[in-house]
Amino acid sequence: MKNFQYFRPSSPEAAVALLDKTWGTAELLGGGTDLLDLQKEYVAQPSKVISVAAIKGFDGISVLEKEPPVVVIGAGTKIATVASDSGIKEHFPALASAAGGLGTPQIRNMATLGGNLCQRNRCWYFRDEHVRCLLKGGDKCYALDGENRYHAIFTKEHTCVIVSPSTIAPALIAYGASAEVLGPKGKRTVKLAEFYRAPRKEGEREHVLEANELVLSVSIPAEKGLRSANYEVAQKRSYDWPMAQAVVAFHLDGKKAKEVRIILGHVAPTPLIADAAMKEVEGKEITEETAAKAGEAATEGAKPLKQNEYKLRLLAVAVKRALLTAAGAKKYWVT
């Protein structure tokens, strides 16, 4: 690991003042479950590491009395706290499921919400210190013709075929959440649906933050009567990322679903809003048949790589099962 200076500011403004204008030289440290790995592999080589642990009021969950009420989760809040909060479990079951199923108890007790949303991708070429791919200043994506079974299946127009690694992000997008961000010019609000972008070259991250900005908190409107569910297809129930994920949310008008949102995770460089799948069930009763059709529609536009066509089926099943779970027809995923 390259030597670095360690800072522990007590305010978000002081943390921002320590950040640099370009990526690479200074890094925020949440729980360190991602950053320290990258430093040990020489993939991240910051000369300044700025811990958020001593920032006052940076963690915790509160409710703003608005219409609808808004739940605010500090960026320093541990994933384990998000997963076990009774209000989150009741109003945002898909978020509680994504947080509760993430990694291991040790990781959930260290990892923060801000760090989860800003974690780097898991492409094994990217994380190998000896490989210089597009995101590390090289001129080639090694995954395109290489080992790509866990990479994106929505690859059109992407030169880098990572999958977005956060399982929390698709849930937050489905709930219409926003991130409050602080930079040198003050605060701004970014909808989670617009928080991610596909990186193409060195100096670009998987999100739209500037190098000298930090996430302060995430706000989620608590829509009355919203039904939701998260379904992840993974090789094992712990210590791994899913291969495909679907988060759904909708209201029921009688038996018909309305304002349907279906967000796909781990199949594209960003979380994906599945428009065709949403249209398939909007205004319809969620049944085995309509949920299955939505699952098939969710794969529209996919262009899998040589080793990951299998993900098409996993994704269709994830969407179907998330819809049936949220509708109360079947319960597939219990944390």
**How distant is the alpha carbon of residue 138 from its chain centre?**
26
Interior angle at CA 324, CA 320 and CA 327, nearest 5: 140
Q: Does 123 help bind ligand SF4 (rule: CB under 6 A)?
A: yes
Q: Does 29 help bind ligand SF4 (rule: CB under 6 A)?
A: no
Task: Name which of 16 and 162 has its Cβ closer to ligand SF4.
Answer: 162
Task: Name which of 178 and 290 has its Cβ closer to ligand FAD.
Answer: 178
The partner in contact with residue 28, picked from ligand SF4, ligand FAD, none with C-beta cut-offs of 5 to 8 angstroms by kind, is ligand FAD
Single-letter code of the amino acid located at 218: V
d(CA 59, CA 45): 27
Alpha-carbon radius of gyration of the chain: 19
Shortest distance (Å) from residue 200 CB to ligand SF4: 8
Shortest distance (Å) from residue 131 CB to ligand FAD: 19
Q: Using CB atoms within 10 Å of the CB of residue 77, give its burial: 0 to 12 exposed, 13 to 18 middle, 19+ buried.
A: buried
- Angle between the N-to-C axes of helices 288-298 and 310-327, in degrees from 0 to 180, rounded to the nearest 10: 140
The partner in contact with residue 295, picked from ligand SF4, ligand FAD, none with C-beta cut-offs of 5 to 8 angstroms by kind, is none
Task: Name which of 133 and 220 has its Cβ closer to ligand SF4.
Answer: 133
List beta partners, residue 261: 249
Token pair listed for 314: 């996993």
Total residues in contact with ligand SF4, by rule CB under 6 A: 13
Give residue number: closest CB to ligand FAD: 115
Q: Does 125 help bind ligand SF4 (rule: CB under 6 A)?
A: yes
Shortest distance (Å) from residue 121 CB to ligand SF4: 6
Give the phi and the psi of residue 291 in degrees, each rounded to 5.
-65, -40
What residue spans of the chain are helical by DSSP H?
A: 12-18, 35-40, 79-84, 86-91, 93-100, 105-110, 113-118, 168-174, 275-281, 288-298, 310-327
Cβ(320)–Cβ(292) under 8 Å? yes
Task: Name which of 61 and 208 has its Cβ closer to ligand SF4.
Answer: 208
Shortest distance (Å) from residue 16 CB to ligand FAD: 10
d(CA 8, CA 207): 24
Site residues for ligand FAD per CB under 6 A = 27-35, 52, 75, 102-103, 107, 110-112, 114-116, 118-119, 165-168, 214-215, 239-241
Q: Does 141 help bind ligand SF4 (rule: CB under 6 A)?
A: yes
Shortest distance (Å) from residue 112 CB to ligand FAD: 4
Selected range binding ligand SF4 among 68-76, 139-147, 215-223, 226-234, rule: CB under 6 A:
139-147
Task: Name which of 243 and 326 has its Cβ closer to ligand SF4.
Answer: 243
Single-letter code of the amino acid located at 25: T
| Position among 75, 133, 302, 312 found at the interface with ligand SF4 (CB under 6 A) | 133
Q: Which of 176, 27, 25 is nearest to 195 (CA)?
A: 176
Residues 155-184 that bind ligand SF4 (CB under 6 A): 160-162
| Contact residues: ligand SF4, CB under 6 A | 121, 123, 125-126, 133-135, 141-143, 160-162
